Structure 1
Amino acid sequence: SDEQVKIITDPYQSSGGIKYRPITEEADYVTISHQHTDHNYTDDIRGNPVIIMGSGLHQKEHFTFKGIESFHDDKRGRLRGENTIFCFNVDDINICHLGDLGHLLSQDKIEEIGKVDVLLIPVGGTYTIDANQATDLCKNINPKVIIPMHFKTPKLDFPISGVKPFILGKENVKELNSSEIEITKEQLPVDTEIIVLKPAL
């Protein structure tokens, strides 16, 4: 943020099928969508961050985080449990992180999410929504910027798809050779852009 406040979403434990290096960044806040160690591991994070979990409004010093109840599968959580979608505003930009969402959302849920400028959405399937479901959901949420996540890379030993099925045939796709991007309110695109980031670690 402009105030140099840092948020980390769904930090992983570097072990097993995850070959990325540990997350040793300093953070002020950490959001956790669900209690699996590839999304809730805070032991390596520095800075004594405030941990945000669960549905409802979490009003903190710098931000208000809105947690929206959802599920990690399409069986109302019977397979993989609950998932929390987090919405928050940073520097007048509305951000929505869908976590490990495993199903399409009702119109009521989409209205609860509200206006989204930047959407972080899983696209790899198997444990989450797949490329086709993610495409449908993006149309319904209608963000300015889409950042796909939870897809297969050489450092992930999970049976999920890569990012290609999601971006295939779509317009305004930017595949960056960088793991960082700076977005300001003034720079938000008129037409929706998909930005594929390079894994950082």
Structure 2
Amino acid sequence: MKVAWHGHACVSLELSNGYTIVFDPHDGGSIGLERPSVKADLVLVTHDHFDHNAVEVVKKNRTRVFKEFVGEAVVDNVRIEGFESFHDKAGGKRRGKNTIYLVEVEERRVVHLGDLGDKPSSDVVSKLRGVDLLIIPVGGFYTIEPYEAWDIARSLNPLNILPIHYWVKGLNLPIKPVDEFLKLVEGFNIVKLDSNFFTLENYEKTVLIPRYG
């Protein structure tokens, strides 16, 4: 499984047959970044905010799209489970709801937490423990703060971690850089990559930092 980070919260999973899943596409320009250069067979949108819902940027002719989907579904041999969570600590009253996606495919389990603003319920946490890859926002302000992200990551005990939704050069949102999260990490290797992608099967107990730009 090839995992690529396209800036902000946009992540793609390319399967062995070329089938591609994209989470939370942005349009690039509205947040000061480049447009994602990926096309999706399946798009999963965690919440309908402008910097996460630019489906047209990555869509192909027959792309399947799930927006804020809560429940279970199987699409093209990909098992999807969506869990309700919140974009804030006020039960969604400030920024709305957020969907956590668990994807199971090719004997791998991948979780994308979207713009998580508060700790998930204990029931959700129990279903997400031990995944192969945890994709987690770490920049704060609009989402959980770096220390909260690390607390959640520890409680989920994933095999690998991919931090997202943090400040990079050009981004015009007031969020923290990834180093604020990395200085809290214990028990994981930290690998800063030379490209924006990696092969998931090559890593274990690793925090992966793809290069952006």
1:24–1:46 Cα contact (<8 Å) kept: no
Check if 1:31 corresponds to 2:48.
no
Selected match of 1:82 from 97, 103, 112: 97
User: Secondary structure of the residue that 1:109 maps to in structure 2?
Assistant: helix
The superposition leaves residues 85-130 of structure 1 with CA deviations (integer Å, 9 ceiling, x where unpaired) of: 0001232111000000001123211013344110000000000001
Cα distance in 2 between the residues matched to 1:115 and 1:169: 20
Correspondence for 1:52: 66
Separation (CA, whole Å) in 1 of partners of 2:36 and 2:64: 16
- Give the corresponding residue for 2:83: 68
Q: In structure 1, what is the Cα distance between the partners aligned to 2:65 and 2:76?
A: 13
What is the aligned counterpart of 1:145 among 143, 160, 169? 160
Alignment check: 8 A CA contact 2:42 2:64 kept = yes
Distance 1:91 1:188 in 2: 16
1:165 aligns with 2:180: yes
Asked if 1:131 corresponds to 2:146, the answer is: yes
Alpha-carbon distance change, 167 to 51 in structure 1, aligned in 2, over 3 angstroms: same
- How many Å separate the matches in 2 of 1:20 and 1:195? 20
| 1:87–1:94 contact (8 Å) kept in structure 2 | yes
Structure 1 residues 136, 169: closer, same or farther in 2, change over 3 A?
Answer: closer
Size of the aligned set, in residue pairs, is 195
Hey, which of these two has a bigger chunk of strand by percent? 2
Work out whether residues 30 and 52 of structure 1, in 8 Å CA contact, stay in contact via their aligned partners in 2.
yes
Q: Give 1:153-192 correspondences, 5 Å limit.
A: 153-170=168-185, 171-184=188-201, 187-189=202-204, 192=205
**Retained in 2: the 8 A contact 1:68–1:113?**
no
Q: Does 1:10 align with 2:14?
A: no
- State whether structure 2 residue 104 is matched by structure 1 residue 96: no
Q: Could you tell me how far 1:169 is from its partner in structure 2? A: 5.0
Q: CA deviation at 1:62?
A: 2.3
For 1:97 and 1:155, how far apart are their aligned partners in 2?
24
CA contact (8 A) 1:52 1:58 kept: no
